[in-house]
C-alpha cells in the first residue's frame, strides 16, 4: 500500500475509548451493539494454539478473530493489511456491523495481538473500537464467567470502508525517514536482543539487526508485568521519552510482522485521551516491518 508524505493534520476516527476495563465490559456485556473479539495470536516459538484456547474458554459472546486469515493472502509477507473489500467481507461473515462497538482482546497479557486488531479497525475507518485492558487474563482472574465452544452471529451488511493511509507506512516511507527527506521517528518494538542483533530472528531468512536510526521500545515494556494492564498515561509518556521518542512528533512503529508494534500505537492513543494529548499524529505502523526490511536490506 503506497503512502504519501506526512501531513501534519489528521481527523481522529475513534469514537470510543481506546482502552476499556474488564469491569466496563462486564457492565456492558448485554449491549446489543457490543461485539467482543478474541484476537489472540501467538509466536510459533511459544507453542500455544490460540484457536484451541478460544474453544476452551472465552468471554461470553466473543467471536474468534483469526489474524492470519484476516491478513492479505497475496503476499509472502506475514500479517499484511487486507484490501478494504476483503476486510468488509470478513466483517460481514463474522456478523459485525459498521456501527457496532468492537472490543478486541487477546490471551497474551501484553497486548501482543489485540492492539493489531484494534489498529486494523481504525485503518478501515471503524468509528467505535477499543482494547480490553489486560486481555483475557484480566477478565478470567476476577472469576468472571467464560464460555466454551464457538460463538457465531448471523452475517450482516458491512459497508466497504475507506482506508486511512495516515495510519500505515510502507517501505518507501521508511526509506525517506532514514534518508532524512521525511520527518519521522522509527520505533522498533521487538525485544531488545533481536533489535541488538544478539539472537536470530524467529522467521527464517531474515538478517539480524535494526533499521538505521531506529529506537528500541519492546512492546511488552508498555504493560505492567504483574497485572498485564497498560501502564498509566504519565508512565507511558515517560517510558517512551526515555527510549528516545517524542510522542508529539511523528512516529512509525515496526516489529517482526507489524503485529506487536500496534501496542505502541495504542499506548500513544491512551496518552492522547488522558489529556496529555500529543500534538503529533497517531503512531503509524510499518506494515512490512522486519519481515520485509530484514529480508531486503543490510
Residue 2 has pLDDT above 90, yes or no: no
b/e for 131-143, b at 16 or more Cβ within 10 A?
Answer: bbbbbbbbbbeee
Whole-number pLDDT of residue 298: 53
Joined together, the cell numbers standing for residue 278 give 500529543
Residue 275 has pLDDT above 90, yes or no: no
Q: Which is catalytic among the residues 7, 104, 189, 255?
A: 255
Nearest to 1 by CA among 123, 177, 118, 90: 123
Topology alike, domains 19-141 and 165-296: yes
What is the distance between the alpha carbons of residues 298 and 294, in angstroms, rounded to a whole number?
7
Alpha-carbon distances of 111 from 45, 108, 258, 268, rounded to whole Å: 17, 6, 13, 14
What is the distance between the alpha carbons of residues 176 and 21, in angstroms, rounded to a whole number?
39
**Fold that domain 19-141 belongs to in CATH:** Oxidized Rhodanese; domain 1 (3.40.250)
Confidence band, pLDDT 50/70/90 cuts, at residue 1 = very low
Residue ranges of alpha helices (H) inside 77-204 are 84-94, 114-123, 135-141, 171-179, 192-195
**104 annotated active-site:** no
Q: pLDDT tens, 11-60?
A: 345 679 999 999 999 999 999 999 999 999 998 778 899 999 999 999 99
Q: pLDDT tens, 210-230?
A: 999 999 999 999 999 999 999
Listed by start position, the domains of the chain span 19-141, 165-296
**Fold that domain 165-296 belongs to in CATH:** Oxidized Rhodanese; domain 1 (3.40.250)
Q: pLDDT tens, 109-154?
A: 999 999 999 999 999 999 999 999 999 999 999 889 999 999 999 9
Q: pLDDT tens, 229-258?
A: 999 999 999 999 999 999 999 999 999 999
pTM: 0.93
Strand 251-254 vs strand 215-216: parallel, antiparallel, or unpaired? unpaired
Amino acid at each position: 500500500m503506497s503512502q504519501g508524505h506526512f501531513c501534519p493534520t489528521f481527523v481522529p476516527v475513534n469514537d470510543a475509548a481506546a482502552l476499556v476495563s474488564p469491569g466496563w465490559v462486564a457492565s456492558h456485556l448485554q449491549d446489543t451493539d457490543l461485539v467482543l473479539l478474541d484476537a489472540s495470536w501467538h509466536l510459533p516459538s511459544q507453542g500455544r494454539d490460540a484457536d484451541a484456547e478460544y474453544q476452551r474458554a472465552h468471554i461470553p459472546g466473543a467471536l474468534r478473530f483469526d489474524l492470519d486469515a484476516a491478513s492479505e493472502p497475496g503476499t509472502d509477507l506475514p500479517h499484511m493489511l487486507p484490501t478494504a473489500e476483503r476486510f468488509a467481507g470478513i466483517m460481514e461473515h463474522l456478523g459485525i456491523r459498521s456501527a457496532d462497538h468492537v472490543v478486541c482482546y487477546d490471551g497474551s497479557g501484553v497486548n501482543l495481538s489485540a492492539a493489531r486488531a484494534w489498529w486494523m479497525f481504525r485503518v478501515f475507518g471503524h468509528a467505535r473500537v477499543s482494547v480490553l485492558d489486560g486481555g483475557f487474563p484480566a477478565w478470567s482472574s476476577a472469576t468472571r464467567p467464560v464460555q466454551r465452544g464457538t460463538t457465531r452471529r448471523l452475517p450482516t451488511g458491512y459497508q466497504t470502508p475507506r482506508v486511512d493511509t495516515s495510519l500505515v507506512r510502507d517501505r518507501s516511507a521508511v526509506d525517506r525517514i532514514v534518508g532524512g527527506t521525511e520527518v519521522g521517528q522509527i520505533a522498533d518494538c521487538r525485544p531488545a536482543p533481536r533489535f541488538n542483533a544478539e539472537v536470530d530472528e524467529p522467521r527464517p531468512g531474515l538478517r539480524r539487526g535494526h533499521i538505521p536510526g531506529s529506537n528500541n521500545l519492546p512492546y511488552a515494556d508498555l504493560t505492567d508485568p504483574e497485572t498485564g494492564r497498560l501502564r498509566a498515561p504519565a508512565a507511558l509518556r515517560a517510558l517512551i521519552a526515555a527510549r528516545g521518542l517524542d510522542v508529539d512528533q511523528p512516529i512509525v512503529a515496526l516489529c517482526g510482522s507489524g503485529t506487536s508494534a500496534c501496542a505502541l500505537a495504542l499506548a500513544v492513543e491512551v496518552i492522547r485521551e488522558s489529556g496529555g494529548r500529543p500534538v503529533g499524529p497517531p503512531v503509524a505502523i510499518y506494515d512490512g516491518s522486519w519481515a520485509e526490511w530484514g529480508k531486503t536490506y543490510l
